[in-house]
Amino acid sequence: FPDDIPINIANPANLETLSRIFKGREVYMVVGSDVIANASSYKKAPVPHSIHHMNHIAFRRVGEDKYDSKKNPKMFKVIKKHVVELELPAHLEEISSSMIRENIDLNRDISNLIDPGVQEYIYGSGLYLREPEYKPFVSGKVISFEETDGIDARLEKEILAMLPMEKEDAARLVETSRRRGDHVLLLRNQQEKGRLTGVILTQHLKPDSLYKILGDVELADEVRRHTSGEVLLVAGIHVCTDSGIYDAEQYLLAEAIARSLPRGCSYALYFPEDGHATSQAISAVRRQGFIRARGENPDIPLYLVDMQQPLVLLRNMRTTIKEPLASNGRVLSILEKTHQDLQIALTGLYPGQLVLSISASIIYPQLVEKITKLNEVPNEPVVPRKLGHYMCVPYGKILRDKVVPNTVTKTLHTDKVFTPDLSVGTIEAFHNYPKLEDQIRMIRAFDREVILVDDLLHQGGRFDALKPLFEREGIGIRKVLLGMLSGYGRDTMALHGVDVDCVYFIPNLRGWLVESTLYPFIGGDTVERPHVQVAGLSPSINMIYPDTKPILRGSGQKSLYDFSACCIRNARDIVLTLEEEYRALFGRNLTLGRLSEAVIAPLCPDRGQCVGYDENLGASV
């Protein structure tokens, strides 16, 4: 049956098309009795051409009373036309999709479970390796932020209990913050019932108040020459010793900076007036691009950063690795180390300029809240399901393997595909998926307006390619929701006349990087080749040396080299750790041919058609 004719059994118009295609012949729907009992399409009221008016061949599920028509005779009453009941032989009844998947994971012969041709295709394409049977729901908040413009008695008690210092020093810090009128951003660990684990104290300064704060005429003048808007003053970053959140200082600082950008802040200072600055806080500050001010008191930390054109790094490595490795302690540790190394390398590209690192784990829950609020449904799964009117369609890397609670979720699998000489890059369907026109026709079959979701929009290339296809199919775009949106991107969407919202607004974006796309074998962009050299791994390009010159204008040659070298080292260290932990867990080697057991969508760096890979070796080799 052609895949450019999508049939959604919940759409009466699609079923009418199906009957018309086979005009003059009887059409039967073949289903298990559990589908008739559970599927939402059967629970709707019958209308002309709906599923209720189709002939059925129903396979009775033996052993489960609610799915056995002999014990539940009302089950087939919803079907208005002819029903043929069949029952599988006992040896076939035992076969299930989970049994087949388990045997694939163990690399066993499954030709006695499915057609041998299908077996050959599954193994030849590297499918179903360590894949969950159902897409998981987007997990809830692990951490959350809370803003306040003052410290009341309740909050003071929480802060004093949290601060890792003597009580007198802690009380003095709180009193000083009150006197200055600091803006307070709190970090809470939601896995521990919202326990307060960190706080960052900030102020928004006018340029004419800099001397009063800094006490140095030349330093105040230097900052004023770099900014005409507000200046963000970070007056303190404080995290408890048992926060349970690795690198909590980084999360706090990045969140405070991201929230200040829409206000027009174009410069930031880290200047804890009490002189209390931990090594972890200094590390987080430096990794965001802050540099030490010249000529100030060496005993008092003072760091500066220009925020006019930030370089944004989306931290998404944990979302690219499969369970149980994604929750493995050693894997998490290497992801933290390599991310920090990457941040340091990025600060060398534009010294003194902001490098803003934002985690996908922070963006995901906030996107889900926006999607479910727009859809007027709860943001946690409920029983029975209550589905909203709109359909969520992720069209980039974000949420591509997840389901939004109480929301019809259908990923549009897209990819940026380059010609072999890298001269042209176009937006096309991801490898092994139907072409974009057919995928969008399938979305049309759901007969719903869509909420489009992506991680970042700047120049709008991906959206520009998809919008005409949605218009051609008559699909209404209710809203475009983004993890990050630049000023240029917002203007582009206004030109399209599309309603847009985001978690983070970055007015003047210099450029952006998605961490996973920088690492060979783990991510990247696809290269168009007629054949795949390793099953399940498309040929790819990473935008780093030695493959190509990184697209980071205005950077020095040495800094680009150091950045590329860091990406390759990080990829090697991550893959080595995955291989070691996989061997410890499953007692066999994680070879290139089975890399998709550990990485959600692995790729194979393109070396042309004349250089081969040995799929029995590890990616680290």
Q: Is the pTM of this model over 0.75?
A: yes
β-strands 408-409, 267-270 pairing = unpaired
Tokens of 519: 């690492």
Task: Say yes or no to pLDDT of 335 above 60.
Answer: yes
Find, among 432, 492, 503, the residue nearest to 462 by Cα: 492
In contact, 143 and 251? CB cutoff 8 Å: yes
Q: Is 567 exposed, middle or buried (0-12, 13-18, 19+ CB in 10 A)?
A: buried
| Measured distance CA(547)–CA(432) in Å, rounded | 24
- Specify the pLDDT at position 14: 94
The predicted model gives 292-306 an average pLDDT of 75
- Specify the pLDDT at position 560: 97
- Specify the pLDDT at position 295: 57
Band (302; pLDDT cuts 50, 70, 90): confident
Most confident of 269-273, 323-327, 535-539: 323-327
* DSSP E strands, 360-431: 391-394, 408-409, 414-418, 425-429
Most confident of 199-208, 240-249, 336-345: 336-345
pLDDT tens-digit map of 113-153: 898 888 888 887 778 887 777 777 776 678 899 999 888 88
Task: Say yes or no to pLDDT of 589 above 80.
Answer: yes
- Specify the pLDDT at position 296: 53
β-strands 291-292, 231-239 pairing = unpaired
- Specify the pLDDT at position 169: 82
The percentage of residues in the chain with a pLDDT greater than 70, rounded to a whole number, is 97
Q: What phi, psi does 199 have (nearest 5°)?
A: -150, 140
Report CA-CA distances (Å) from 89 to 54, 62, 86, 94, 448: 26, 10, 10, 9, 40
The predicted model gives 5-16 an average pLDDT of 93
Band (299; pLDDT cuts 50, 70, 90): low
